[in-house]
Chains A and B, each alone.
Chain A
């Protein structure tokens, strides 16, 4: 699972109002090469929840990959170095094993072989 997907995922349990962001507990992660495309990054940037992305990147142990505060959107046009790092954080870091934890209920969604198990129990629907 890439951090792009993690950034989009929210807890789906019935009655949960504050199910975002899911806390990432990564036990194992890998880096995979993905083609760089600046247009995609510019399109995706406004949709990204920056604090959630930074939190996820830090939980993987990459503390200085991204700045704490969301950069000005103009940095996307001018700052190539930032774009590369944004690209790496969003698309190249894959979480292989671990869990996603709902911030409100503490429910754990295990991740195995890179696939989060988001199936809900019957009483959670």
Chain B
């Protein structure tokens, strides 16, 4: 399956059928909720119980917004797909929804928003879907307007699936040019499935306050789906382009061994193939004749 970004522009790709998945698939719902909880955690809002006004960029069907509502924050959601917003209306989300294109900039007053999250959305900016689209200009418009509308010291946490290093570099460069400080936090860098990259940006000049939070499960042992919440003490910094450890080789110099051969023979026998009987010669190495 090619990446959705390569198939069609977002307002066309997220049609009624695709949007429907976001209400019916419990897997999608669970993943989205988990990512948005993590994004909210990275947003590092003071834990004083006061609701804030947050942005959800690419809110879609409002799954991520629900996490914000559960934490009693007010939010404004932006999305380009009418179908996804219709689903959000059906789900009766509590935030306000806007049909808008983030690549055209967010039309908001300066300095009024206390934080922004975005789940799997901003990589769409890297694709030119119309002849008038210029990815670098759209990134600039997006990050520029995001920087303006955030209050000083506010954070934006943008989870993204970039296709390659060039894309994430391009996004990062655009964010830095807009004046943001911050970087990429990678959760579970060694896992293909659980790996999630978050762009954590702080509005305002860099200082000791803007140091990056740590990524989760960097040692690779906490990648399973259910134990993600209780590994807070095992956090380490994820480095984006760190080499993954080589997979432990299954074949030793001696070959795969007798047990492996017997297991395979048994498997084939169970499938109904004719397999030579197991004898003392089975899986024995041939002599070196030369």
Query: Given A12-B104, A47-B111, does the pair A119, B76 have CB atoms closer than 8 Å?
Result: no
Closest to B49 in A: A39
Per-position 1/0 for B86-115, Cβ under 8 A of A: 100100001011111100111111011100
Closest to A122 in B: B132
Q: How far is the CA of A32 from the CA of B101 in the complex (A)?
A: 28
Q: A104-119: which residues lie under 8 A (CB-CB) from chain B?
A: 113-119
Interface residue total, chain B, C-beta cutoff 8 A: 33
Q: How far is the CA of A116 from the CA of B85 in the complex (A)?
A: 11
Assess whether A2 is interfacial by the CB under 8 Å rule. yes
Assess whether B51 is interfacial by the CB under 8 Å rule. yes
Q: Residues of A contacting B111 with CB < 8 Å?
A: 47
Find out whether the CB atom of A118 lies under 8 angstroms from the CB atom of B96.
no
Assess whether B80 is interfacial by the CB under 8 Å rule. yes
Find out whether the CB atom of A10 lies under 8 angstroms from the CB atom of B108.
yes
Q: Residues of A contacting B53 with CB < 8 Å?
A: 4, 8, 44, 47
What's the least CB distance linking A13 to chain B, in Å? Answer: 9
Assess whether A72 is interfacial by the CB under 8 Å rule. no
Assess whether B72 is interfacial by the CB under 8 Å rule. yes
Query: Given A40-B51, A91-B74, A125-B132, does the pair A119, B109 have CB atoms closer than 8 Å?
Result: no
Q: Residues of A contacting B108 with CB < 8 Å?
A: 8-10
Query: Given A43-B52, A116-B99, does the pair A11, B107 have CB atoms closer than 8 Å?
Result: yes
Assess whether B50 is interfacial by the CB under 8 Å rule. yes
Neighbour of A8 across the interface among B94, B100, B109, CB < 8 A: B109
Assess whether A56 is interfacial by the CB under 8 Å rule. no
Q: How far is the CA of A19 from the CA of B109 in the complex (A)?
A: 10
What's the least CB distance linking B168 to chain A, in Å? Answer: 25
